[in-house]
Amino acid sequence: MTASHAEFFEAIKRAGPTRSDSVARMEALATFLDSAILIPGTNRRIGFDALIGLIPGIGDAISAALSAYIIWEARRLGLPRWKIARMVGNVALDTALGAVPLAGDMFDVLFRANKRNMAIVREHLARKHGPREIEGEAVRLGERAL
């Protein structure tokens, strides 16, 4: 490989995926899992999560594994542990209750764990993190005027 090709590939490797790329992948997967298909004659959408959940046993396990990718990406984006724990709780609830025959399938249609998790991610990324401005005057201890 020539030097110019090596430099090109190194530049791509250094650049890596951007934050917006990660969020776009997560959004696409959440939509696929929770609301990809419009049910004809209704205003209701279902996703692959509800469809694969119809397969006893393994369907919910596959759905949980796909949902875990969103959590993994969220951790890579720097979400704090307590938000990751909320996301894991959403997926665990969806998986546990989704495993119940028939009632669990209805729960999968209504409880959209991946969309909820994406709301947590979007809310976190929309906030400005860093030092907050404090009103008032800063005074060192011991320099107070009497």
Condensed to tens digits (0 to 9), the pLDDT of residues 96-132 reads 998 888 888 889 888 999 999 999 999 999 986 655 5
Q: What is the pLDDT of residue 131?
A: 55
Q: Which long-range contacts (CB under 8 A, 24 or more apart) does 25-33 make?
A: 25/73, 26/69, 26/70, 26/73, 26/74, 26/118, 26/121, 27/118, 29/66, 29/69, 29/70, 29/114, 30/70, 30/114, 30/115, 30/117, 30/118, 33/63, 33/66, 33/67, 33/114
Provide the pLDDT for residue 132.
57
- What's residue 95's pLDDT? 92
Question: pLDDT tens for residues 57-103?
Answer: 799 899 999 999 999 999 999 999 999 999 999 999 999 998 888 88
